[in-house]
Amino acid sequence: MGIKTSSGRSGHTKTKHRQAFQKDLTSGTLTLLTIGGIMGSGLFMASGLVMRHAGPVSLGLFAVGALAMYLEISALAEMSIATPTPGSFLVYTQQVLGPGWTFVSGWIFWFSSVLTMSSEVTAAALFTRLWFPGVALWIWSLVYSVLIVAINFISVRGFGTIEGVMAGVKTTAVLAFIGAAILSLFHVFPGSRIPANPLHNFSAYGGWLPNGWYGAMPAMLLILFSYAGTGVIGLAAAETKNPTPTIRSAIRSTVSLITVMYLGAIFLILALVPWNHMSTHISPFILALRATHIPYGGLIMNIVLLFAVLSTMNAALYSNVRVLYGLAHAGHAPKTLGKLNKKGLPTHAIWMSAGLLALTIILAYLLPAKAYAYLVTATGFQAMFIWLMVLLTHLYYRPYLQKHHPEKLTYKLWGFPYTTIFVMAIVIVALLVSPLAKGELYGAVVGFAGILIAWAAWLIAKPYLLSHVPNTDSGGRV
């Protein structure tokens, strides 16, 4: 569906037009879109950094991350099913926490999404450089950025199809990798360098916890980052045909597939490659396939990895521009960012996000060797702040719905409020210990600085914005 008129009719009437998003996303498309938003360089690249820091215990930490992801996305789904809206959790934050938290959360979400796109496009450039080592990193970053921005100017249905294909490719590839790796452990492929005992790498080279908890826990931020991107399921709620059954189905499918693929892949990578052989510049998936000696396995996987990170970048931009749209309608951003074109797309918001993405590409030019490590840490820091805001909002929004709209609570996160508080505790611990990891301090500083800047901006703009922010029933909280 396209643009609707306020009277519900089309034609040559002189009624005022009211713009609306197209409701073209199905359960399958939303599942692939959500997987596309989650499964990116965090799994395909940053997991190598995690295993190098933590060793085999990474598998257990990834299991904790999967549980945290399930609880967080369920909390978001509860609110999104009750109130499907393009602004997602920002609308709920506005209602129960007030405009101050909404302003900071929205702009941090936007900046975090831009950093996500930057880290994904940098990873894409790193994968491409395996084929073209003579081409500068920033050139590939620029090429892929232009491609992804162009895709987001396609209609919602066309965008969903393209993203579905890219997400489908990487989902199929990870499942195929798991199958091939299992066969390798049984020495089906000749010439492989696989130990006779599949569990050898878990006990050798220092054992399960080679660097102690001091070395393992700082990697938790990167693990949680690999599960970030769940926000797309809330932001897309207003563009689904039937939000309640669509989101329910998407949650079940997303959590099941992500958990199986992540834990299966991490276990098999650790079984195939010693943790201390992980590289900061080569995907652990490539290293694992090289160990199997499967013909052209590394080449094929590198192509898939390229699709994978571009898919996540694509989903991040989708989420990013819809947050700007929500901020504009909440009075926290210029009104022009809340306008849609005839296809129901927030084109002004797309251009603004593309502009900042172009600036971050400069980092790939200035610091090509360290660009990914810095970006992924800064992104993870701010992405986890957004998780905290979603969970904090959920703590207040559930009682709000129970009091004012109990009939809307058709989907509930179990164990409330303890499960919500449990995930918040995991996230806070990950944020506190992340600067202890080697090479993550600068990224953490950038991530924390972004949060401080957002709060400073709110304090400066507060007098003006409060006189223009729409009324809410938040009880006057700011």
Determine the pLDDT at residue 475.
40
For helices 243-272 and 27-38, give the axis angle rounded to 10 degrees: 40
In this structure, what CATH number is given to the domain that contains residue 341?
Answer: 1.20.1740.10
Q: How many domains does the chain have?
A: 1
pLDDT tens column, 14-26:
334 345 555 556 6
For residues 196 and 200, give the distance between their C-alpha atoms in angstroms, rounded to a whole number. Answer: 8
Let me know if residue 88 belongs to a domain.
Answer: yes
pLDDT tens column, 134-167:
887 778 888 888 888 887 777 666 666 777 777 7
Let me know if residue 7 belongs to a domain.
Answer: no
For residues 38 and 262, give the distance between their C-alpha atoms in angstroms, rounded to a whole number. Answer: 11
Let me know if residue 285 belongs to a domain.
Answer: yes
Q: What are phi and psi of 335, to 5 degrees?
A: -60, -30
Determine the pLDDT at residue 13.
39
Let me know if residue 476 belongs to a domain.
Answer: no
For residues 26 and 250, give the distance between their C-alpha atoms in angstroms, rounded to a whole number. Answer: 9
Q: Which helix (H) or strand (E) element contains residue 111?
A: helix 99-129
pLDDT tens column, 101-111:
888 888 888 88
Eight-state DSSP code of residue 5 = E
Determine the pLDDT at residue 310.
83
pLDDT band at residue 3 using 50, 70 and 90 as cut-offs: very low
Name the pTM for this structure: 0.79
Determine the pLDDT at residue 192.
59
Determine the pLDDT at residue 1.
30
Please give the mean pLDDT across all residues of the chain. Answer: 79
Let me know if residue 134 belongs to a domain.
Answer: yes
Q: What is the mean pLDDT of residues 405-415?
A: 89
Let me know if residue 93 belongs to a domain.
Answer: yes
Let me know if residue 45 belongs to a domain.
Answer: yes
CA angle 6, 247, 37 (to 5 degrees): 100
With CA atoms as reference, report the closest residue to 76 among 422, 388, 391, 327.
391
Eight-state DSSP code of residue 279 = -
Let me know if residue 8 belongs to a domain.
Answer: no
Determine the pLDDT at residue 468.
58
Domain ranges, residue 238: 23-466
Q: What is the mean pLDDT of residues 276-292?
A: 83
With CA atoms as reference, report the closest residue to 57 among 197, 161, 213.
213
Q: What is the mean pLDDT of residues 405-428?
A: 92
Eight-state DSSP code of residue 440 = -
